[in-house]
Amino acid sequence: MRDVAQWGLYKSFIQRELKEAIPNYREGYSSLELDAGFFRPDSILARDFSVLFAAMQFNDTKQEKVFRWLDLMAGCGIRALRWGLDAVLPISEQKRGLKNLEIWINDADLDRSNLIQRNLQPLSKKGIKLTFKNDFAEVLLARAYIDKCFFNLIDLDCFGSPNSLLQPVLRVLAFDGILMLSSTDGRSTTGHDRLAALRSLAAAARTHPASWEIALRLQLAAVARQAWLLGRGVEPLACFSDGRTFRVFVRFKRHLFHGEENQLGLIARCEICGEQSSQPLLNLKGWKDCSCGIGLARWEISGPLWLGPLQSPPTLSKIQELSNRFSVPIVGRSEKLIDRLRADEGIPVFSWSTHDIASRVPLEAPPSLDLMIKLLNAEGYLAFRSGVVPGHFRTNASLGELLRICEKKLVKGFK
Ligand SMILES: C[S@@+](CC[C@H](N)C(=O)[O-])C[C@H]1O[C@@H](n2cnc3c(N)ncnc32)[C@H](O)[C@@H]1O
């Protein structure tokens, strides 16, 4: 939120949304007070993930160094509270001591500052050093940069698109630090507001059956480009969406990995036959023919976007192991989500819906995902359940192959 005029609009929006204050909301080991300001219980999955990444970071490092975590747009302060209560595992507390942890909590809304301070009291009692700020994010980040104050974990949970804050956020993120980003700007990234996508992402965003995944890839590309401007690299750790909010967890690397620039590219889909294709920007050539026939392709092209992995399965295994070993208080839905993401790294980039394929064969009813995957594996193709788009699978088989396999095995009554 860039200026005072926008801030006024936001406050009147919140006032229209006035809800009953809740005196005692519980999540993880936290119990906190909610006021009429913004709070969404169903963001619990993103909060659980942030707790697990914080726990991994604090538990992992052998060095005697200070960890500084920043909840940049804290709302009622729930993330910071959960980091201090749920992510600081007893074993890390013994090993590292709490003197090595600082948590910064910021929200520009002055009306929330008393509530935040009350909610965070358990952390002060526990001995964690807290820094409360009441600044516009832009101001806090600029001051931190001037003061050379770096954070190991930054949670940026804003309204709309976070892109104007990416560069200042990355400038104060320590190497190997983790950025946890939320965007509610689904209209631009899913192709429903193409002008807004050009403005906020400098990218073409087209509607696509896997639009949630396209949106995540566009967001990752925006992060990568800002990191690259600083000569740094990125490693996606986890990405997911509920169709309304897009969550991206990224590790900020001192250097780009070899060929990282090759991960920036375009994904095309023929609006007639549904064929998909992709190209890295580095080797951009003409597009191949689709299944419509020579010269008939009507490619709808999205990008530049991130063509690389969306998830880091080893990191997800690590947080899962941590969560199980230390009974980190996350909900069952988060556990299932970790399982799903871990099983689908996010490449190959092509995601298909069984409904779409069934309608093109045509079949009376779409095959189950398990059957589709089994058929593709039997023909030697890679195939997984998509971790990010429900009802989709990911494969390296072309559309022609998908139709051939379905025709051969399903039309003739394959059991
Ligand atoms: C989506 S809410 C945060 C919710 C919170 N992270 C949670 O999990 O419940 C966004 C918050 O950002 C604050 N905010 C909006 N624009 C801001 C800005 N430019 N700087 C700092 N805070 C801002 C709002 O007051 C609001 O509390």
| DSSP-derived secondary structure for 43-77 | GHHHHHHHHHHHHHHHHH--S---EEEEESS-TTT
Please give the average per-residue pLDDT across 175-189, as a whole number. Answer: 96
pLDDT at 36: 86
| % pLDDT > 70, the chain | 93
Question: What are the tokens at 105?
Answer: 């909590």
pLDDT digits (tens, 9 = 90+) for 348-370: 999 999 999 999 999 999 999 99
d(CA 338, CA 156): 21
Q: Which helix (H) or strand (E) holds 383?
A: strand 383-385
350 touches ligand 1 (CB under 6 Å) = no
Please give the average per-residue pLDDT across 383-400, as a whole number. Answer: 96
- Which ligand 1 atom is at minimum distance from the Cα of 47? 8
Nearest CA to ligand 1 atom 7: 75
Distance 188 CA to ligand 1 centre (A): 20
- In this predicted structure, the answer to whether residue 172 has a pLDDT above a threshold of 70 is yes
User: Which of 180, 278, 267 minimizes the C-alpha distance to 218?
Assistant: 267
Nearest CA to ligand 1 atom 5: 75
Distance 387 CA to ligand 1 centre (A): 28
Question: What are the tokens at 64?
Answer: 């005697």
pLDDT digits (tens, 9 = 90+) for 267-289: 999 999 999 999 999 999 999 99
| 313 CB neighbour count, 10 Å cutoff | 16
- In this predicted structure, the answer to whether residue 318 has a pLDDT above a threshold of 80 is yes
25 touches ligand 1 (CB under 6 Å) = no
pLDDT at 59: 86
- Measure Cα distances from 167 to 74, 132, 229 in Å: 20, 23, 9
pLDDT at 7: 58
- In this predicted structure, the answer to whether residue 92 has a pLDDT above a threshold of 90 is no
Question: What are the tokens at 350?
Answer: 């092509």
Tell me the chain's radius of gyration from C-alpha atoms. Answer: 23
pLDDT at 199: 96
- In this predicted structure, the answer to whether residue 373 has a pLDDT above a threshold of 60 is yes
Distance 75 CA to ligand 1 centre (A): 5
pLDDT at 22: 72
pLDDT at 63: 65
Question: What fold does the segment set 4-260+307-340 form as a domain?
Answer: Rossmann fold (3.40.50)
At residue 415 the predicted structure's pLDDT band, cuts being 50, 70 and 90, is: very low
Question: What fold does the segment set 350-415 form as a domain?
Answer: Phenylalanyl-tRNA Synthetase; Chain B, domain 1 (3.30.56)
Whether the CA torsion 83, 84, 88, 90 is positive or negative: it is negative
Considering the chain, tell me which residue range(s) the CATH 3.30.56.70 domain(s) occupy. 350-415
- In this predicted structure, the answer to whether residue 3 has a pLDDT above a threshold of 60 is no
pTM of the model: 0.93
Whether the CA torsion 175, 319, 390, 383 is positive or negative: it is positive
